[in-house]
A and B are shown apart, each in its own frame.
Chain A
């Protein structure tokens, strides 16, 4: 008997006669949309990320300003000319995102056009992410519903951090130590 068959048979024996259960979904799946931009900005800020809320027209200028002379990776599909290519020596990366969650201050990348590969958003020490106001949803259920499970997904809530020393959160371990979020309105 293969391990697969044996495990499946054991499970069949173990649960024989056990009743099935209904799943109550009384939790919030859609929320009263308050000011999502404000809530998202506040919650991202709680993680000690840097937040800019600016009109869409000012975004390119602000990116230039923030990038300065840094060697920033600009992934395929991101609307900006030029950019550093080498992962090992880049200072940072500029991306968009797939969706953002106000309640938890989370950005989700599906690594589609303009969002870079998983490595590109991880290895450089600085991540500058542009979130369009329309991409912000209220809570986790709305975000899960919008995402495509067949794509690799990276959920980001603030800069890299650890709570491993005395359960106190400190920012900056292996991922980008600076997370800067531009919310374009």
Chain B
């Protein structure tokens, strides 16, 4: 059973300060993210119309969100027409209740799962466990996290913080019937996972998935994956339950032509992922249930600046390019959504009442690399800055900012402050006390000049006499 993030204590800076000192983590993340950054850049550069696709992707999502109520009803009708059953869940508890009830109705005590952010977000595995139902993750990285009783740290590759030798250790320790001579060769590890799960795929009667896209016009669900575990889960069991966030909708079948280009290239850095499954309603005799999940999404939708986060297609390109994520790792964000997108999504979905969630909008240097790579052009820095203005601020910082604002709002006051600083410049210690030590712990201070620029200008710089 993998651990859950809900109610995690601490804050981002503290979590990150531990992570940056973890040499193994730093090495693993640097290696993995630099690999994927290179691959993404290569396949994106191949398409001459990438920016056109990006503009279309952004607009399709915005249009969908603007008309979400209409398209959800259309989706419901199409799925129902095709023999599926649609359920609506206001929040995590309601979604978990619905899914638990559906599994219980089959009489099964085990389910297989396709990697799904939505079900992680609502803590579905834990909710099922409370009712004696065991959920088996089948995606390799999810399996690594689940076997290792660990937290996911990346949207696409939840076990990105683990390297091959750590994965081998987890398999040897926790995987029944694993070959004793298992090496840390990735293909050997993949083979071990194949053998471990094959039996389970063939005998499982119930599967739970999410979806990358839902098409309102046709009622089609779309799942992109690599390993084939998704196809196994979506195809073989008698009952399929898909839990999907309401923002995953696309209006028309045709819109897939945009997103099936944007997502794989942004995500795994491939021209196309190995497998994509599309199905409409109940297929080949299978029972199909779709659970439409709100869980805070409509609150995000109500925020004019923040609602663009709902365009997200969970590709994780922003994580892979983020210098903060690369050094802090995913766990520091205390959420199933780490990295830049997590820093804007989590505080909007969960609010900022906990110390951790309130610290997330500040977990960025606003370098803008995330916005550049985002396939649906979410202006993450813009949303971060907006959330910062809504976040609670420490009292001392508030006071300091007020004073700074007062000084900076008038050039006479500013000049006086500069002169004071110039006079006291000999007295500034190499290591500052209190919160300012955060600067001088690792950096020297610049030397304070005797004369500010404006005083030099007044003294004669204006006429080239100084």
Contact B69–A150 (Cβ < 8 Å): no
> Which of chain B's residues have a CB closer than 8 A to the CB of A7?
72, 88, 90, 246, 292, 294, 298
A148 to B72 alpha-carbon distance, docked (Å): 21
User: Interface digits, A135-174 against B, CB 8 Å rule (1 contact, 0 not)?
Assistant: 0000011001100011111111111111111111111111
Contact B157–A104 (Cβ < 8 Å): no
Which of A19, A88, A174 contacts B194, CB < 8 Å? A174
Contact A156–B274 (Cβ < 8 Å): yes
| Interface check A80, CB cutoff 8 A | no
Once A27-B53, A157-B273 are accepted as A-B contacts, the answer to whether A2 and B88 lie under 8 Å apart by CB is: yes
User: Interface digits, A82-110 against B, CB 8 Å rule (1 contact, 0 not)?
Assistant: 00000010000000000001011110000
Q: Number of contacts between A and B (CB, 8 Å)?
A: 237
Interface centre among A19, A21, A172 (most CB of B within 10 A): A21
A10 to B223 alpha-carbon distance, docked (Å): 27
Contact A23–B227 (Cβ < 8 Å): no
Min distance, Cβ A155 to any Cβ of chain B, angstroms: 4
| Interface check B317, CB cutoff 8 A | no
| Interface check A33, CB cutoff 8 A | no
User: Interface digits, B243-261 against A, CB 8 Å rule (1 contact, 0 not)?
Assistant: 0001000000110111011
User: Interface digits, A54-77 against B, CB 8 Å rule (1 contact, 0 not)?
Assistant: 000000000000000000000000
Contact A106–B272 (Cβ < 8 Å): yes
Min distance, Cβ B92 to any Cβ of chain A, angstroms: 13
| Interface check B2, CB cutoff 8 A | no
| Interface check A132, CB cutoff 8 A | no
Total interface residues in chain B, CB < 8 Å: 95
Min distance, Cβ A112 to any Cβ of chain B, angstroms: 13
| Interface check B428, CB cutoff 8 A | no
| Interface check B315, CB cutoff 8 A | no
Total interface residues in chain A, CB < 8 Å: 70
> Which of chain A's residues have a CB closer than 8 A to the CB of B275?
154-157, 160, 175
Contact B253–A162 (Cβ < 8 Å): no
Contact A166–B292 (Cβ < 8 Å): no
Contact B32–A162 (Cβ < 8 Å): no
Contact B69–A12 (Cβ < 8 Å): yes
Contact B229–A173 (Cβ < 8 Å): yes
Contact B272–A20 (Cβ < 8 Å): no
Closest A residue to B164 by CB, please name it.
A165
> Which of chain B's residues have a CB closer than 8 A to the CB of A103?
271
| Interface check A122, CB cutoff 8 A | yes
A164 to B232 alpha-carbon distance, docked (Å): 18
Which of B167, B254, B279 contacts A152, CB < 8 Å? B279
Contact B276–A26 (Cβ < 8 Å): no
Contact A29–B271 (Cβ < 8 Å): no
Closest B residue to A174 by CB, please name it.
B228
A140 to B140 alpha-carbon distance, docked (Å): 28
Minimum-distance CB pairs A-B, first 9: A175-B228, A174-B228, A10-B298, A155-B276, A14-B302, A173-B227, A157-B272, A141-B257, A164-B141
A residues contacting B by CB (< 8 A) are 2-4, 6-8, 10-15, 18-29, 43, 46-47, 88, 101, 103-106, 117-119, 122-123, 140-141, 144-145, 149-176
- Subset of 28 A-B contacts with CB under 8 Å: A7-B88, A7-B294, A11-B246, A14-B301, A27-B52, A29-B257, A88-B202, A103-B271, A104-B264, A105-B272, A118-B284, A122-B228, A144-B253, A152-B277, A153-B279, A155-B276, A155-B278, A160-B274, A161-B226, A164-B140, A166-B164, A167-B35, A167-B160, A171-B187, A173-B140, A174-B194, A175-B231, A175-B232
